[in-house]
Amino acid sequence: MHRRDFVKLTGIGAAGLMLPISGNIVTAAELVDTGLDFAQKKQLANIALSAATEAGATYADARIGRYLNQFVTAQELRVDNIVNTESAGIGIRVIANGTWGFAATSDMSPDAIAKAARQAVAVAKANSKFQTEPVKLAPVKGVGDVQWRTPIKQSAFEVPIKDKVDLLMEANNAALDNGANYITSVLFQVNEQKFFASTDGSYIDQDVHRLWSPFFATAIGATGFKQRNGLGNPVGMGFEYLDGDPKEQIKVQGANVGYRYSYDMVQDARDAGKQLQAKLKARSVEPGKYDLVLDPHHLMLTIHESVGHPLELDRVLGYEANFAGTSFATLDKWRSGKFQYGSDIVNLVADKTQKHSLGYVEYDDEGVKTKEWDLVKDGILVNYQAIRDQVHMIDQNESHGCCYSQSWADVQFQRMPNVSLKPNPEKDLSADDIIKDVEDGIYIVGRGSFSIDQQRYNFQFGGQLFYEIKNGKITEQIEDVAYQSNTQEFWNSCVAMAGPSDYRLGGSFFDGKGQPSQVSAVSHGCPTTRFNGVNVINTARKSV
Amino acid sequence: MAIFTEQEAQALLKKVLAFSKADECECGLEGSITGNIRYARNTVSTSGEVSDVTLAVQSSFGKRTGTATINEFDDASLEKVVRRSEELAKLAPENPEYMPLLGPAKYDKVDAWRDSTASMTPADRAQMADASITPSRDKKMVAAGFLRDTKGFFAMANNKGMFAYHRATNADFTVTVRSEDGRGSGWASLDFNDVSKLDTGKASAIAIKKARDSVDAKEMEPGRYTVILEPAASVTLLGNMARAMNQRAADEGRSFLSRKPKEGEELPEDAPKNRIGEKLFDERVNIWSDPLHPEVPTPAFSADGAPVGKTVWIENGVVKTLPNSRYWAQKTGVPYVPTAYSGGGLFGGGVQMIMAGGDASLEDMIANTRRGVLVTRTWYIRSLDPQTLLYTGLTRDGTFYIEDGEIKYPIKNFRFNESPIVMLNNIEELGEPQRINGSLIPPMKIRDFTFSSLSDAV
């Protein structure tokens, strides 16, 4: 992420949250104002497309965006910050002389839009002198006028600030009353209003909503401190996600509560307080090989890092070599049709169509209809994630529909769609069913420290909560667990997974990629899953 | 007009403050023009130029505060942003930690602007990219890089009479060069206020050499090794440590600098809650910040307008000072220790660190190493234990085995699990400090650095 996009929302050094915020700060009333209507946006977009074409572009698209955010932060019993932001403008992307050009402006006057379009063409022509790989676009048929909205029940922006503050205060109190000494809780609400138009003949207006309410709790003991983060998920839902519907809870015997499509933040904060006290007393793990049972709220990040990123085609081809890196999943492995990414029960799919997910939209940011496709089928690597200007490099002629830009001011490029592990298709097993077959193992809940190399071979992941499993039963909470493995070895050690009833969506609100860096929100679905004989290390070290 | 002069900024902020009806009002004006060019697979992929100015106004009634921002500067807009911040302040709950605004102060004059950088054009950027791409292509290597140049300013003022202004330019460059078959990878980075010092060809030559020399890496057993960490290999670990050096977190018991009783020891009620004054590192460790340092200048004021001068954080291995807020300083009865403004825009980022070193070059340090590992850079660093500052991460883009004063052969990358506190206790030698990411860090020779596993990544 670019430094300038960070705003420090809390004042406590190490415990402070650096959050990416862009846009101007506005009042709450402006957040529910609907902005320009479809006809106005179409008219402005047409100005951009005509100006670009007249200046020599062979293709052009225009994105008119209005990006609204609200962030509420509370520490212990005080509200730290309430920030409303708005950012609006137009981004114009063109192809001229076989080269991409891009320009953006917040000035929405017809003259400024036409000027930006001509500037984009000028940039394309200037860069074409150094171009050695002319752009080849996969065909897309224009879809005419389309409107779409994330299916939400209650827009978070319409909920009074007081209700949000009350919720965070109740959660903070619940943690503090049950064993936490400190807690920071946050409510993020995002609304992307984006209108896409292209010379292919599409005018697509989409209203996208996302929500996340994390917390970070700490307890101080006699000789040190422990931390436990909230187990809620970032979602493509409205405020209804926070209604705490008990039907959406999945209880694991002797351990935690998992949340599906509804989150009880207060209950989770209460649990966090108690679990923090247990963490302070917990025994440190004995390093060695264990059978791991991974909770979906944990496994989602393992999927993100070890499947989502290595199968991004731009990484595979070297476009991200100077920043995020390249990939072990090279084209020759894919072309062989035999590369065993995981065991034969492993089926990983990409999509931008799952309801409640962060990636869910009807069309991507270059006007391609979204879909679901296989990445790993019966354990074999079968495809990548690619967009219009990339699919020809893998002998395909249809974009996967996973192009995205974080704002009107940034150029769109290939971003990770939702990448998910399919649940057990044969038996609808529960998490308890998976645990009961394990003799000597560890059940890991929640996302902790995670680190992976630049080609996505070697990784090390921690969690929030760790439970010892002995003879099919959870015995006690333990601490200082991280597992270290190699992507291919790890996915080939996958031996069992729960069924559709246990399937949950986790996600990342701020996945970073590119230079200048852009963030993107992405979900990962999976059931509770078992991996055999994984190397576990102890992360505790004597203090100096 | 993205770059305001001191006089222009002062005049505008004065106008803004005149609209205020709040008990207290403070405003900040920040602007920048940033250009960039990105390339990969030996060809330019994207480039752009972004210009932006933002005015932020914070109004307070008692302990209620609201903030609003705008990027239009006609009188009506200026009044609107002031009214908006006042409306938000009236809606906000009271902040028990609110501190009254500071009055006028004198600040040191900082020279951080270079016309060479301020006058960069798209053609200059393309030329500098070409100076990296062409030699890579000629040597049958593949280059990917990113060059960015920024000019910017920040000004702040309040209704107690405070006014502060800073302007700066910056240019930063990174390049990764890989062999065509992907078996070798090298990297280099440079950043300066003055772009004329930034030689993309010279940096690329280092990356090309490292890429060529790192082909056919051998496996070495993970374990504890003497390492030479180039500044890029240690800067993130040290930066993480610097960010964790906060007095409040230490006093509250949630930091590596919290004072804890040793086994069997009982601390009296009034014992210090943090570890200021304790020797935690090798006595050669000296780390400070200084806004006036000519190589790495920063604003000479903090985000609340307090003057900031040279501050020593660690002296001869002893923790000397911890930064705090005005609220916490008052509550604990200690002096306020501000840090230089590093908010949004050009000045966004972490704490500027200046770490003392020696005279030895990297080559000298290699020459007097019997057995060791040279680490070009580290990557994907994540916290494992905030109490011991244990971090994990990986080496990347050039890891070599040293024997009898010479680089013998490239080795596969390692994952490490290590703490900067342990590192700074195990110093063998410090070399000549170099600028990296706005800080000055020496190359360091460290004994017993813990590598926990191997990675196949190149």
Residues of B with CB below 8 A from A482's CB?
384, 392
Q: How far is CA B308 from the centre of its chain?
A: 17
Measured in angstroms, the CA of B156 and the nearest CA of chain A are apart by 17
Q: Choose among B123, B244, B280: nearest Cβ to A13.
A: B244
CB within 8 Å of chain B, chain A residues 462-481 = 462, 480
**CB of B252 less than 8 A from some CB of A:** yes
Give the C-alpha separation, B108 to B106, whole Å: 7
Q: Which amino acid is at B406?
A: E
Between β-strands B371-385 and B223-229, what pairing exists: parallel, antiparallel or unpaired? parallel
Q: Mutate which of B34, B38, B47, B274 to disrupt the A interface (most A C-beta within 10 Å)?
A: B47
Residue A14: per-residue pLDDT: 26
Instruction: Name the stretches of chain B with pLDDT < 70.
Output: 1, 343-350
Q: Does residue A283 contact residue A479 with C-beta atoms inside 8 Å?
A: yes
Ramachandran quadrant class, A47 (left: phi over 0; alpha: psi -120 to 50; beta: rest): alpha
Residues of B with CB below 8 A from A12's CB?
246, 248-249
A321/B69 CB distance under 8 A: no
- DSSP SS3 for A390: coil
A320/B253 CB distance under 8 A: no
**CB of B378 less than 8 A from some CB of A:** no
Measured in angstroms, the CA of A5 and the nearest CA of chain B are apart by 7
Q: Choose among B67, B385, B415: nearest Cβ to A25.
A: B67
Residue A529: per-residue pLDDT: 98
CB within 8 Å of chain A, chain B residues 200-219 = none
**CB of B405 less than 8 A from some CB of A:** no
Q: Name the residue of chain B whose CA is nearest to A538's CA.
A: B384
- The helix or strand, by DSSP H or E, that contains position A36, with its residue range, turns out to be none
Residue B263: per-residue pLDDT: 74
Q: Which residues contact B228 (CB under 8 A, 6 or more apart)?
A: B362, B365, B366, B369, B372, B373, B374, B375, B402, B443, B444, B445, B446
Residues of A with CB below 8 A from B396's CB?
325, 453-454
Q: Which residues contact B261 (CB under 8 A, 6 or more apart)?
A: A222, A223, B267
* A101-117 tens-digit pLDDT: 898 888 889 999 999 99
Give the C-alpha separation, B380 to B374, whole Å: 18
* A166-214 tens-digit pLDDT: 999 999 999 999 999 999 999 999 999 999 999 999 999 999 999 999 9
ipTM of this predicted structure: 0.90
Q: Name the residue of chain A whose CA is nearest to B178's CA.
A: A321
CB within 8 Å of chain A, chain B residues 409-428 = 413, 415, 417, 419, 421-422, 425
Residues of B with CB below 8 A from A166's CB?
none
Mean pLDDT per 10-residue run, chain A (544 residues)?
A: 31 32 52 77 98 98 92 88 79 94 88 93 86 92 97 94 92 98 96 97 98 97 92 97 97 94 98 97 97 98 97 96 96 98 98 98 98 98 97 97 94 97 98 98 95 95 97 97 97 98 95 91 98 96 56
Q: Choose among B40, B243, B422: nearest Cβ to A13.
A: B243
**CB of B175 less than 8 A from some CB of A:** yes
A11/B42 CB distance under 8 A: no
Residue B46: per-residue pLDDT: 83
Residue A10: per-residue pLDDT: 31
Give the C-alpha separation, A182 to A170, whole Å: 14
Q: Which residues contact B75 (CB under 8 A, 6 or more apart)?
A: B15
Residues of A with CB below 8 A from B280's CB?
544
